[in-house]
Amino acid sequence: AQSVAQPEDQVNVAEGNPLTVKCTYSVSGNPYLFWYVQYPNRGLQFLLKYITGDNLVKGSYGFEAEFNKSQTSFHLKKPSALVSDSALYFCAVTIGRGSNSGYALNFGKGTSLLVTP
Amino acid sequence: DTAVSQTPKYLVTQMGNDKSIKCEQNLGHDTMYWYKQDSKKFLKIMFSYNNKELIINETVPNRFSPKSPDKAHLNLHINSLELGDSAVYFCASSQARQRGVQETQYFGPGTRLLVL
């Protein structure tokens, strides 16, 4: 089964420091991986995705993620954290039914990021 | 200019009632989804529709019935509500996967359902 794991429930980082939110995947075939962010009482906002090509994917709000096939990881990173980055972050992988229809997302449990001033 | 919208935003109701949540997208997408987020923030797919056809139907009680009148709308009807149905329900939409490219899903703001 296609799945992702987020090993950390919470990540704390000081404003201005680099941040990393970890995600590992378990898939058969080529993985299609996503990161979403959820601010309190809001919906999910798309940050970035890896389909194929360059292992370093750049996304919204200065975030990027590195696809590492040997370590089966897709960690989310940002060089300099902002207090406003504090939110719940979800890694996800697509799961499908072998057709060209839209594929659903299988989400990790989420990692709460807290950036302190 | 809302992309994916849901109504209502909040829904408080008694056990045993029947309720509906509506979802509309103006992105021109042909695939729509319902996800459930429980109290621990865990997100799980419930249904997926492509061009009004049910594609994915995960292990969801029969009390939940999606209905897609057209490509832009996917409603969720819940019969005989139970306490355990309390959750946040998210609608999402995307283009269908084409030529192996997985299109991005865009989510609505969620409907917070509380069953008393």
Across the range B30-48, mean pLDDT stands at 93
| Of residues A36, A90, A104, nearest to B48 (C-beta) | A104
Q: What is the pLDDT of residue B101?
A: 63
Q: What is the mean pLDDT of residues B21-50?
A: 93
B15 exposure class (CB count in 10 Å sphere: 0-12, 13-18, 19+) = exposed
Instruction: With cut-offs at 50, 70 and 90, classify the pLDDT of residue B58.
Output: confident
pLDDT score recorded for residue B51:
77
CA gap B69, B51 in Å, rounded: 10
- Sorted by sequence, the CB contacts under 8 Å of residue B99 that are 6+ apart come out as none
Domain region containing A86: 3-116
CATH number (domain holding residue A73): 2.60.40.10
Contact (CB, 8 A) for B55 and B62: no
B59-81 average pLDDT score: 92
Closest CA to A27 of A89, A109, A105: A105
- Tell me what the mean pLDDT of segment B47-76 comes to: 87
**Domains of chain B by range and CATH?**
4-97+106-115 (2.60.40.10)
Least confident of B6-10, B14-18, B55-59: B55-59
Using an 8 Å CB-CB cutoff, list chain A residues near B97: 96, 100-103
The pLDDT value recorded for residue A1 is 73
Chain A CB contacts of B4 below 8 Å: 43
Query: What mean pLDDT value characterizes chain B?
Result: 90
Collect the ranges in chain A with pLDDT lower than 50. Answer: none
- Residue among A27, A47, A88, A105 with most chain B CBs within 10 A, to mutate: A105
Say if residue B8 is preceded by a cis peptide, omega within 30 of 0: yes
Q: Which residues fall within 8 angstroms of residue B47, CB to CB, at 6 or more apart? A: B33, B34, B54, B56, B57, B58, B60, B64, B66, B74, B76
Residue among A43, A49, A99 whose CB faces B109 most closely: A43
pLDDT at B50: 83
Cβ-based contacts of A46 with chain B (< 8 Å): 104-107
Give Dmax (Cα) for chain B. 46
Q: Do B104 and A46 touch (CB under 8 A)?
A: yes
Residues of chain A found within 8 Å of residue B110, distances taken between Cβ atoms: 42-43
Query: With an 8 Å Cβ cutoff, are B56 and A44 in contact?
Result: no
Give the chain B residue whose CA is nearest to the CA of A33: B102
Q: What's the structural domain count of chain A? A: 1
Q: Buried b / exposed e across B81-114, counting CB within 10 Å, b at 16+?
A: beeebbbbbbbbbbbbbeeeebbebbbbbbbbbe
Cross-chain residue pair B55–A43, CB shorter than 8 Å: no
Give me the pLDDT at residue A101, please.
Answer: 52
Per-residue pLDDT tens over the stretch B85-111: 999 999 999 987 665 567 899 999 999
Chain A contacts of B98, Cβ < 8 Å? 100
